[in-house]
């Protein structure tokens, strides 16, 4: 892949309003690409304009937005090719499987899975013409799930499977598919998920609270600690940019030491050993008064 400022090949980054998406858009622009950055509001795009990035209003669950972006690529005034699509947009979610309402499950999969599939389908003709690349942003939770993260992990596991199928289906057409699996990244996304967790906890029945009260109290602290220990958005963006531009990419890249360790461990450790590892990490964040009982219940 080239990064020539003469060709100014196009790269699309979804979910570019803040965090990893915005950092990736800036990194790709710095490397000489013309970046179309998907944002939800005009105000989000104003900051990106200063970095030489072209913001586009893009809700990946909105078919009109997707069609408009596909038309923008097909009718590019300079006839530039689409070199890479970075599927980064996503929603967080935390809470026990039993407690997360089905409407939230559907909304999560609508954004984290179906929206990416819809956008990829629409842009595949242009990607095939340009021998481009698809970079799907998954997660550590796309390989390792744990208590309290089932819905989010489920959506990321799904994208891992979709990516594997796409990689094989598109290889004969010259389109490469790469998965990036971040662990903790210092972004605002975690705070968004915790706000919904607070509402979820307030709606639990007494029976559910007896089962999951300690877990839901532990999750905010667990997420905060995981995020604080994570890499910066700029560090993550450099890995994503590498996945999008290196001539012979790996099929998967991890971001952060924790993601690398747990994903590797998941390949070799028995399920129950991995369960004990992830439960032990969560247990450190349980309220002190319930920690012994919780420990016994999860042993």
User: What CATH number has the domain bearing residue 45?
Assistant: 3.40.50.720
Please check whether residue 197 lies inside any domain of the structure.
no
Please check whether residue 194 lies inside any domain of the structure.
no
Please check whether residue 221 lies inside any domain of the structure.
no
Helices and strands, number each (H, E), in the chain: 12, 7
Instruction: Tell me what pLDDT residue 190 has.
Output: 57
Sign of CA dihedral 38, 40, 42, 43: negative
Tokens of 280: 């032990």
Tokens 């967790």, residue?
197
**DSSP reduced 3-state for 231:** strand
Query: Roughly what angle, to the nearest 10 degrees, separates helices 206-228 and 271-283?
Result: 90
Cα–Cα distance measured from residue 275 to residue 279, given in angstroms and rounded to the nearest whole number: 6
Query: What is the span of the domain harbouring residue 40?
Result: 10-188+232-268
What are the pLDDT digits (tens) for 174-194?
A: 999 999 999 888 776 655 656
b (16+ CB within 10 A) / e for 193-210: bbebbeebbeebeeebee
What are the pLDDT digits (tens) for 11-63?
A: 999 999 999 999 999 999 999 999 999 999 998 898 899 888 999 999 999 99
Once rounded to an integer, what is the mean pLDDT over residues 98-105? 96
Number of domains in the chain: 1
Is 152 among the catalytic positions?
yes
How far does Cα 54 stand from its chain's mean position?
22
b (16+ CB within 10 A) / e for 43-64: ebbeebeeeebebbebbbeeee
Query: Roughly what angle, to the nearest 10 degrees, separates helices 19-30 and 233-245?
Result: 50
- 109 pLDDT band, cuts 50/70/90, is very high
Please check whether residue 23 lies inside any domain of the structure.
yes
Once rounded to an integer, what is the mean pLDDT over residues 97-116? 97
Once rounded to an integer, what is the mean pLDDT over residues 141-168? 97
Tokens 């490397």, residue?
31
Instruction: Tell me what pLDDT residue 297 has.
Output: 46
Tokens of 297: 């219940």
Please check whether residue 93 lies inside any domain of the structure.
yes
Burial class (CB in 10 A: 0-12, 13-18, 19+), 120: buried
Please check whether residue 286 lies inside any domain of the structure.
no
Please check whether residue 120 lies inside any domain of the structure.
yes
* Number of neighbouring beta carbons within 10 Å of residue 121: 11
**What pTM was estimated for this model as a whole?**
0.90
Quick check: 90 pLDDT over 50? yes
For 156-160, the CB contacts below 8 A with 24+ separation are: 156/112, 158/109, 158/112, 158/113, 159/87, 159/112, 159/113, 159/116
Q: One of 149, 152, 212, 253 is an active-site residue; which one? A: 152
Tokens of 59: 């809700």
Q: Which residues contact 203 (CB under 8 A, 6 or more apart)?
A: 99
Please check whether residue 212 lies inside any domain of the structure.
no
Q: How far is CA 286 from CA 151, 179, 290, in A?
A: 21, 33, 7
């Amino acid at each position: 892949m080239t990064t020539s400022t003469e060709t100014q090949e196009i790269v699309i980054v979804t979910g570019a309003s803040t965090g990893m998406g915005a950092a990736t858009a800036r990194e790709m622009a710095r490397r000489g690409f013309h970046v179309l950055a998907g944002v939800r509001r005009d105000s989000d795009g104003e900051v990106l304009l200063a970095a030489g990035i072209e913001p586009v209003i893009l809700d990946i669950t909105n078919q009109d937005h997707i069609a408009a972006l596909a038309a923008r690529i097909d009718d590019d005034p300079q006839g530039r090719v689409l070199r890479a699509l970075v599927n980064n947009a996503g929603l967080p979610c935390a809470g026990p499987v039993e407690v997360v309402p089905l409407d939230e499950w559907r909304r999560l999969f609508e954004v984290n899975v179906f929206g990416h599939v819809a956008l990829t389908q629409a842009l595949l003709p242009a990607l095939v013409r340009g021998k481009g690349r698809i970079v799907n942003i998954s997660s550590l939770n796309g390989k390792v799930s744990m208590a309290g993260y089932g819905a989010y992990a489920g959506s990321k596991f799904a994208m891992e499977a979709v990516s594997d199928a796409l990689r094989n289906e598109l290889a004969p057409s010259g389109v490469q598919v790469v998965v990036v699996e971040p662990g903790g990244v210092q972004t605002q996304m975690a705070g968004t998920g915790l706000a919904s967790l607070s509402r979820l906890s307030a709606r639990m029945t007494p029976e559910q609270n007896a089962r999951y009260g300690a877990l839901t109290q532990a999750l905010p602290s667990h997420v905060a600690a995981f995020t604080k220990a994570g890499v910066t958005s700029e560090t993550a963006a450099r890995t994503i940019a590498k996945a999008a531009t290196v001539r012979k990419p790996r099929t998967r890249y991890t971001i952060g030491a924790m993601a690398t360790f747990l994903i590797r461990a998941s390949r070799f450790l028995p399920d129950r050993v991995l369960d004990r590892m992830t439960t032990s990490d969560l247990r450190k964040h349980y309220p002190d008064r319930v920690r012994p009982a919780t420990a016994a219940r999860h042993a």
